[in-house]
Structure 1
Amino acid sequence: MGKIIAIFVVLVALCGGAAAGYVLRPAPPEREDEEHAEEVAPVPTAAITRFREGFVVPVLRDGTVWSHVVLNLGIETDFTAEADIFLREPVLRDGLTEALFLHANFGGFDGDFTDAQNMNRLRVRLNEVVQQRLGDDTARILIVSMARQAS
């Protein structure tokens, strides 16, 4: 008798599980008529390109090197291909290095150099260079990593 009750309990549990699965299944997706279907414009995907080598910026105090800042940068853009960025890398590096040196000369890497205001100034300056040199208003700089080391 115990074996029959055990089999009965297993069958009831199996049927209960099947019924719960049937009742709780996800609703089928609604089909839209072809006339009412809205075409969604494809959203351009942003291409992200990292520079092969980092940028080293000396920080001077009283005419002597006080520390170095090492940055790894990337570029995010919607319209410029990665190959075009690598072809223009020397021109981009020249402009970015100049902007980084200017930021260092204005004291951007002194004290709390990761302060939001300092980072925003740096990012704006670097974005201007990248957009101008690539001719792409969607291009923006990505600061992948930044470190300062005292000399």
Structure 2
Amino acid sequence: MGALIPVLLLVLGLAAGVGAGFFLRPAPPEPPTASSVDEGPAEAAAPLKAAEPVEVELSFVKINNQFVVPVIKDDLVSALVVLSLSLEVPAVDTSAIYDREPKLRDAFLQVLFDHAYLGGFDGVYTASTAMDTLRSSLLASARRVAGENVSDVLITDIVRQDM
């Protein structure tokens, strides 16, 4: 008798869930009316153009290891810059970014070394114009490697250690 009560509660709960799902289901979509079937192709396509664009869920992919960039002055390392980067991509493309990470790291290091060689990490290296230049160069490099699905490059950490 004691085992019968839990079984009855389970059956009652299952029946209540099925009944609630049946009564609360959404209404079926309306079938096309005769007037929309008789419209020409240009008139029928007009409502489609007025529809809102589909929003793509974006995700942030953190590049696993930090980037260490030497700053060279007079043929000597005068400072080290350490950066962490993340990429903003559609959520469905995160695994593709991880698959291309070695190639992305190589391309990012080339951009960072060029930036350091041109004096981008000298003086006030975190000024917005300097950071914008660096971000746009990194974004262009990321798009060459991973495609146009990369919408932004985020510099999440940046530190300069003078020697």
Q: Do the two structures share a fold, i.e. TM-score over 0.5?
A: yes
Unaligned runs of 5+ in 2: 1-28, 31-49
The answer (yes or no) to whether the contact 1:59–1:67 under 8 Å persists in 2 is yes
- Letter of the aligned partner of 1:109 in structure 2? F
**Match among 63, 74, 85 for residue 86 of structure 2:** 74
- Bigger Rg over Cα: 1
Question: Structure 2: how far apart are the matches of 1:41 and 1:121?
Answer: 31
Counterpart pick for 1:64 among 59, 76, 86? 76
C-alpha contact 2:139 2:150 (8 A) present in aligned 1: no
Percent identity at matched positions? 34
Instruction: Give the match for residue 143 of structure 1.
Output: 155
Name the CA shift for 1:64/1:72 in 2 (closer, same or farther; >3 Å): same
Q: Please report the RMSD computed on the Cα atoms of aligned residues, expressed in angstroms.
A: 2.1
| CA distance 1:103–1:80, change in 2 (3 Å) | farther
Query: Which secondary structure state, in structure 2, belongs to the residue aligned with residue 81 of structure 1?
Result: helix
1:49 aligns with 2:69: no
CA deviation profile, 1:9-42 (whole Å, cap 9, x unmatched): xxxxxxxxxxxxxxxxxxxxxxxxx88xx96543
Does the aligned pair in 1 maintain the 2:87–2:150 contact within 8 Å? no
Q: Distance in 1 between matches of 2:64 and 2:148?
A: 21
User: 2: distance between equivalents of 1:86 and 1:147?
Assistant: 25
Aligned residue number for residue 93 of structure 1? 105
Structure 2 letter corresponding to 1:75: L
What per-residue deviation string (whole Å, max 9, x for no partner) do you get for residues 34-69 of structure 1?
A: 88xx96543101111001100000000001000000
Matched with 1:126 is 138
Distance (Å, rounded) in 1 between the aligned partners of 2:94 and 2:149: 16
- TM-score of the pair, normalised by structure 2: 0.66
Q: Are the aligned partners of 1:58 and 1:69 in contact in 2 as well (CA < 8 Å)?
A: yes
Equivalent residue pairs, number: 117
Unaligned runs of 5+ in 1: 1-33
Q: TM-score, normalised by structure 1?
A: 0.71
Runs of 4 or more consecutive aligned structure 1 residues displaced over 6 Å after TM superposition: none
Distance (Å, rounded) in 2 between the aligned partners of 1:85 and 1:41:
25
More helix by share: 2
2:125 aligns with 113
